[in-house]
């Protein structure tokens, strides 16, 4: 069955230019880079991409697109211990899925190790770098802190010849890890700690996922990053705020080397409520088995969001809406959920599924008879088309939709009451069967009004409740996983003293329901396809655990923001002041 494809126009909304666009436009006007715009997205392949990275990706690729430029994908693979090809592959997959293309511009910092080595020698020859033989702890001690100036290492004034000799022997593998480092001779009294003779190269006898055992010295991020941008001819190097204090250091290197000098512009990281976005913490969730993997649908990773059923268009719209700013802030995760609902509302066909089935027998419907009810995929828009839903004597409705002893204003099914079955008929409850042992309701008996076939009221009589349903003999059995926020504290890391951030986990972030019943049209639903289960929420077919004829559905989001209701209730209940 074809799922109607829908576009939504929300991404083209006009908005005022932000400060990065203003900066680029200024450079285009003044011809600073010959009218060129070249950006890059520089992930370190030491984990999966998350929604925060999506913000950077949308910006890096988005600026290139907007100004007719290019955006490189460059892996910052300077740290052999933590990095892995698994991460390289996942990062590529996630960027493509998000809708961006780097063409043949796939680069690696490790491609430039030779050039970086040459430049390091050049800085040594020019008296701008030296081999230090203090230990890591001693270097930290000598460097001082905000209140205490740095002190010179006793090795700071080695001769160029000695520095060159030691540096070459570092590269040749003559020394163990930590024996020496190469440092830039900057300014030990600078208020900016990054300028207090930063380490450029360290010894690490480790196998690199691309260069193997060719190197035993590796550049630090500080030494690699600006030069990599320069080599690639990047014009606008967009990065997060924590690099603002590194900019003078990048400038220092580029100026001393006399090479192409990109313009670096910093923007605020994305932080989201009820979410952690630190790779270290996300890795801990995976390692501790709190989640099933990097692609667990509760993870804020792109792999997790994808598996949960979040459309890439919703993530792009979200990133566009939050914009870019110079100041750190925390975005309400409800805004992301809103963008997801908005896109799914415009694109997901409506179907019926019963999560906690209760058997209904229509006593006045002939046994063995089946008829097909015409059910549109969208209640208001006929262009979405429709499917046939089989109707027969024995149905399932949602257990929650029946109360033997209903509260006031109950519009759903109860003894003696009449409800509408969506697209099928009106029916009235005539009796209830209990389990003799437990007293539990096991079956509801009803009579339908044949004249209401299709679900219309034959005489204009008012029926307030409309229920979803499936035919017992025709429905497909499914597992449904109800996902909720992974944390129940807005800032999961803001915990009382002595507690762990893991104490902020929401124990109800996953509820697995088996024995659910979905309408037969979903038997062949494609893995990854997204649907609205009427009255229940948006769901997608799990790409990993579904089997033919045995689908597993993940709940992407509920139809309404239930958390906002809870939060409003809690605020209302809180004492004044
Ligand atoms: P680490 O803490 O290991 O440095 P990272 O999250 O910075 O992790 P990178 O792989 O270095 O991960 O990130 C690649 C790019 O994505 C960087 O340019 C970084 O600034 C950007 N980025 C990372 N996290 C966010 C975020 N939360 N919001 C916006 N951009 C981000
Ligand atoms: Mg980083």
Nearest protein CA to atom 15 of ligand 1, as residue: 43
* Neighbour count for residue 425 (Cβ, 10 Å): 24
* Distance from C-alpha of 145 to C-alpha of 125, rounded to nearest angstrom: 29
Which amino acids are annotated catalytic? 44, 269, 279
* Neighbour count for residue 204 (Cβ, 10 Å): 16
Structure token pair of residue 75: 């892996």
Nearest protein CA to atom 8 of ligand 1, as residue: 279
**Sign of CA pseudo-dihedral 59, 63, 65, 69:** negative
Distance 50 CA to ligand 2 centre (A): 12
Nearest protein CA to atom 16 of ligand 1, as residue: 53
In the sheet that holds 552-557, the strands lie side by side as 350-351, 530-533, 537-541, 552-557, 476-483, 510-518, 353-354
Q: Looking at the chain, which residues constitute the CATH 2.40.240.10 domain(s)? A: 353-468
Which ligand is located closest to the Cα atom of residue 279? 1
Ligand 1 and 44: CB distance under 6 A: yes
Phi, psi of 532, rounded to the nearest 5 degrees: -100, 120
* CATH placement of domain 353-468: 2.40.240.10
Kind of pairing between the strands at 441-448 and 510-518: unpaired
* Distance from C-alpha of 265 to C-alpha of 25, rounded to nearest angstrom: 13
> Which atom, in ligand 1's list, is nearest to the CA of 238?
18
Q: Looking at the chain, which residues constitute the CATH 3.40.50.620 domain(s)? A: 19-267
Query: First-to-last CA distance in the chain?
Result: 57
Single out the residue of 312, 326, 315, 238 nearest to residue 272, CA to CA: 315
**Do residues 196 and 150 touch, judged by C-beta distance below 8 A?**
yes
> What 3-state DSSP class applies to 37?
coil
Distance 129 CA to ligand 2 centre (A): 25
Ligand 1 and 277: CB distance under 6 A: yes
Sequence-separated (6 or more) residues with CB below 8 Å from residue 469: 352, 354, 360, 395, 396, 397, 421, 422, 424
Ligand 1 and 268: CB distance under 6 A: no
Question: Helices marked H in 126-208 — which ranges?
Answer: 136-143, 160-172
Specify the pLDDT at position 573.
54
Single out the residue of 382, 398, 460, 388 nearest to residue 424, CA to CA: 388
* Distance from C-alpha of 517 to C-alpha of 279, rounded to nearest angstrom: 38
Query: What is the DSSP annotation of 208-251?
Result: BTTTBTS-SEEE-HHHHHHHHHHHTT-SEEEEEGGGGGGHHHHH
Which ligand is located closest to the Cα atom of residue 243? 1
Kind of pairing between the strands at 530-533 and 350-351: parallel
The three-point CA angle 293-298-303 to 5° equals 60
> What 3-state DSSP class applies to 112?
helix
**Do residues 294 and 302 touch, judged by C-beta distance below 8 A?**
no
Task: Look at the domain 19-267 and name its fold.
Answer: Rossmann fold (3.40.50)
Q: Give one word for 254, left, alpha or beta, with left for phi > 0 and alpha for psi -120 to 50.
A: alpha
Specify the pLDDT at position 81.
83
Which ligand is located closest to the Cα atom of residue 277? 1
Distance 33 CA to ligand 1 centre (A): 26
Specify the pLDDT at position 576.
42
> Which atom, in ligand 1's list, is nearest to the CA of 242?
20
Per run of 10 residues, the mean pLDDT along the chain (length 577 residues) is 41 77 97 97 96 98 98 96 89 98 97 98 98 97 94 97 98 98 97 97 96 97 97 98 96 98 97 96 97 98 98 97 91 96 97 98 97 95 96 98 96 97 98 96 98 94 95 98 96 95 97 98 96 98 94 96 66 50
Nearest protein CA to atom 29 of ligand 1, as residue: 269
Distance 478 CA to ligand 2 centre (A): 41
Q: Judge if pTM exceeds 0.85.
A: yes
Single out the residue of 238, 234, 247 nearest to residue 266, CA to CA: 238
The set of long-range contacts for 185-192, using a CB threshold of 8 Å and a minimum separation of 24, is 185/127, 185/128, 185/129, 185/130, 185/156, 186/249, 186/252, 188/143, 188/144, 188/149, 188/150, 188/151, 188/152, 189/149, 189/150, 191/146, 192/245, 192/248, 192/249
**Do residues 171 and 114 touch, judged by C-beta distance below 8 A?**
no
Give the bridge partners for 388, in sequence order.
374
Distance 278 CA to ligand 2 centre (A): 10
Specify the pLDDT at position 302.
98
Distance 375 CA to ligand 1 centre (A): 46
Structure token pair of residue 244: 């603002």
Distance 55 CA to ligand 1 centre (A): 10
Single out the residue of 152, 150, 103 nearest to residue 130, CA to CA: 152
Ligand 1 and 55: CB distance under 6 A: yes
Best residue for ligand 1 mutational test, from 51, 53, 294 (most atoms within 8 Å of Cβ): 53
The 3-state secondary structure of 421-469, one letter per residue: ECCCEEEEEEEEEECCCCCCEEEEEEEECHHHCCCCCCCCCCCCCEECE
- Sequence length of the chain is 577
Nearest protein CA to atom 4 of ligand 1, as residue: 44
DSSP H or E segment with residue 26: helix 19-30
Phi, psi of 555, rounded to the nearest 5 degrees: -80, 120
* Distance from C-alpha of 558 to C-alpha of 562, rounded to nearest angstrom: 8
Which ligand is located closest to the Cα atom of residue 269? 1
Nearest protein CA to atom 18 of ligand 1, as residue: 239
DSSP H or E segment with residue 106: strand 106-108
Q: How many CA atoms lie within 13 A of 59 on its CB side?
A: 31
DSSP H or E segment with residue 182: strand 181-184
């Amino acid at each position: 069955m074809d799922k109607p494809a829908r576009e939504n126009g929300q991404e083209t909304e006009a908005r005022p230019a932000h400060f990065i666009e203003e900066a680029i436009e200024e450079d285009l006007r003044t011809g600073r880079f010959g009218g060129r715009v070249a950006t890059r997205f520089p992930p370190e392949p030491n984990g999966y991409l998350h929604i925060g990275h999506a913000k950077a990706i949308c910006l890096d690729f988005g600026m290139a697109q907007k100004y007719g430029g290019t955006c490189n994908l460059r892996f910052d693979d300077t740290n052999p211990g933590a990095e892995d090809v698994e991460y390289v592959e996942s990062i590529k997959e996630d960027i493509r899925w998000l809708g961006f293309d780097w063409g043949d511009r796939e680069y690696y910092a490790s491609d430039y190790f030779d050039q970086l080595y040459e430049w390091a020698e050049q800085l040594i020859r020019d008296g701008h770098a030296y081999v230090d033989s203090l230990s890591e702890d001693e270097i930290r001690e000598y460097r001082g802190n905000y209140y205490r100036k740095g002190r010179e290492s006793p090795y700071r004034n080695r001769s160029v010849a000695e520095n060159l000799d030691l540096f070459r022997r570092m590269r040749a593998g003559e020394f163990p890890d930590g024996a020496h480092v190469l440092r830039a001779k900057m300014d030990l009294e600078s208020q900016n700690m990054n300028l207090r003779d930063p380490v450029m190269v360290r010894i690490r006898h480790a196998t690199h996922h691309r260069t193997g055992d060719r190197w035993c010295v590796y550049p630090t991020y500080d030494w690699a990053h600006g030069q990599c941008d320069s080599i690639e001819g990047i014009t606008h190097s967009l990065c997060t705020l924590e690099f603002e204090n590194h900019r003078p250091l990048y400038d220092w290197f580029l100026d001393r080397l006399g090479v192409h000098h990109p313009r670096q512009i910093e923007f605020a990281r994305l932080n989201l409520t009820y979410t952690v976005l630190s790779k270290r913490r996300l890795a801990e969730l995976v390692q501790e088995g709190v989640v099933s993997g990097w692609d667990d649908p509760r993870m804020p990773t792109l792999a997790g969001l994808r598996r949960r059923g979040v459309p890439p268009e919703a993530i792009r719209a979200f990133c566009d809406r939050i914009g870019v700013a110079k100041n750190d802030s925390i975005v309400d995760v409800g805004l992301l959920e809103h963008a997801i609902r908005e896109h799914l509302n415009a694109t997901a066909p409506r179907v019926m599924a019963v999560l906690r089935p209760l058997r209904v027998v229509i006593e006045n419907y002939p046994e063995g008879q089946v008829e097909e009810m015409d059910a549109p995929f969208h209640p208001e828009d006929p262009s979405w088309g429709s499917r046939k839903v089989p109707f027969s004597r024995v149905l399932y409705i949602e257990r929650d939709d029946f109360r033997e002893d209903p509260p006031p204003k109950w519009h759903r099914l109860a003894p003696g009451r009449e409800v509408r079955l969506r697209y099928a008929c009106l029916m009235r409850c005539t009796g209830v069967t209990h389990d003799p042992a437990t007293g539990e309701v096991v079956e509801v008996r009803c009579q339908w009004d044949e004249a209401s076939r299709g679900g219309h009221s034959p005489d204009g009589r008012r029926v307030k409740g409309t229920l979803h349903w499936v035919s017992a003999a025709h429905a497909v059995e499914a597992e449904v996983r109800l996902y909720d926020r992974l944390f129940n504290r807005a800032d999961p890391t803001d915990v009382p003293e002595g507690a762990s951030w893991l104490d902020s986990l929401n124990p109800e972030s996953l509820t697995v329901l088996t024995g659910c019943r979905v309408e037969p049209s979903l038997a062949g639903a494609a893995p990854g396809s997204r649907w609205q289960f009427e009255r229940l929420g948006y769901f997608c077919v799990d790409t990993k655990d579904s089997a033919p004829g045995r689908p597993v559905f993940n709940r992407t989001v509920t139809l309404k923001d239930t958390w906002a209701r809870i939060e409003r209730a809690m605020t209302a209940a809180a004492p004044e002041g």
